[in-house]
A and B are shown apart, each in its own frame.
Chain A
Amino acid sequence: MKSKAYTYWVVIISLFLAYLLAIVPLPDWAMNWRPQWVLMFVFYWTMALPYRVGLGFAWAAGLLLDVLEGTMLGLNALTLLIVAYVTLSLHQRLRMYNPIQQSGLLLVLSLVALGLGHWLRVISGQIEPVDSMYLLAAFSSAAIWPALFSLLRSIRRGFINN
């Protein structure tokens, strides 16, 4: 079994990739379809390593995403905290599901996170309300989840033996 610090490095480096994917500029038509990378990575790591990656980790990951996106500090932290909480409480059942069923739950969580984030920004006056096209990101996230899941699982099995 590898050391605990080593596990954290694998998780942190994978999250760094998620941040890159989350802010890399995309053409206009693709903006609404950009999957919620950081949310999916947090979802995976809390499900796979619930005793190491928990609520504090999700909160910190969200805080950094807030800084990157220039949104209100704590907004993504809150939504990711909710995602991590639900995932943690369901992780034993989630592991039994096949990836398609998991992406069903991911879709719901992602919709909640997007809706909550949008609503919080509207009531705090950061943006003007827009049409609900921004929710498309949840569907693209759910659609690529099975592929991302098998990729992350092979990364975990390759690097973290426990």
Chain B
Amino acid sequence: MVADNRFGYLDSVRFILSYTATPVYWVADMPARTSEFFDDVFVSHSDLLAENERLTNELLLAQRELQVLASLASENSRLRALNEAARIVEGEVLAAEIVNRSPDRASKRVLINRGALQGVFVGQAMLAADGLMGQVVEVMPRSSWVLLVSDPLHITPVEVNRNGERALARGVRGETDELELEFVTQTQDVRPGDLLVSSGMGQIYPKNFPVADVVSVDNDPGQDFAVIKARPRAQINSTRHVMLLIPPKQEVQP
């Protein structure tokens, strides 16, 4: 156990063992797939089906670009460079579906139906159409585990869209899907209703993608830091279609 957890010696063993897991995941997802299949059969023909899928993907992409645009407009008003944010729009995405979730309530993880064979890698960012979802933590041949932003061990570097105040958003323990901003001093300007976007620090998430809305700000003079709660933009418990961000190829300097 220690070898696996601390040193990663067993990563390859795990990877091979997870071939045996694929059929189990496949069967476990069958009810959901069957219902989707029957929906399709009774509603449309196969060519309509293909078109539908293409449109869904395009819609996801368009919504994502729209989100980025909202953020861009705000950034423009603050007279900041647009170059950085425009870069995300160029990044490609890999469409995926959430097929299962962690059977353990203590860890908020979901299983997606894309794995190493589709080019998924550990640390890849997962986005939903309306906000950030999480990052890949374990890759298997045809599926991967994604740690959600609402997990208490997951910290997202964010900034307030209105004024650029930076903070760290951590998942709240327990059954809620809320986030908590850590180490925000009482004097920092964060108000309920503010949109938190990812700040791009930590190099995992793209810059300026919406993460959460601030729900409550509690300035208790007795505490060192303000207690700020936020609700993730992404519908974490009801989304099935997600995107994995493929980072743009790094130019190699000669």
Contacts and interface: CB of A to CB of B under 8 A. Distances in A.
Interface of A: 16, 19-20, 22-25, 28, 31-32, 34, 63-64, 67-75, 78, 118, 120-121, 124-131, 133-134
Contact of A67 (B5, B20, B153): B20
A28 B175 contact: yes
Interface string B117-154: 00000000000000000000010100001000000110
Given A23-B25, A69-B104, A128 B153 contact: yes
Nearest to B145: A70
Contacts of B25: 23, 68
A63 B100 contact: no
Contact of B21 (A67, A120, A131): A67
Contact of B17 (A19, A67, A130): A67
A68 B2 CA distance: 19
Given A121-B106, A129-B173, 17 more contacts: A16-B24, A20-B27, A23-B24, A24-B28, A31-B103, A64-B17, A67-B20, A67-B21, A68-B25, A72-B4, A73-B14, A126-B107, A127-B152, A128-B153, A130-B173, A131-B174, A134-B105
Interface string B6-41: 000010011001101100110110011000000000
Interface residues of B, number: 36
**Residue of B14, B106, B153 with most chain A CB atoms under a 10 A cut-off:** B106
Which 5 A-B pairs rank lowest in CB-CB distance, beginning with the nearest?
A128-B152, A74-B1, A73-B4, A127-B106, A70-B145
A126 B109 contact: no
Contacts of A130: 105-106, 173-174
A20 B28 contact: yes
For A19, A32, A120, the residue with the greatest tally of chain B CB atoms inside 10 Å of its CB is A19
Given A67-B21, A70-B138, A23 B28 contact: yes
Given A23-B25, A63-B17, A69 B102 contact: yes
Contacts of B109: 70
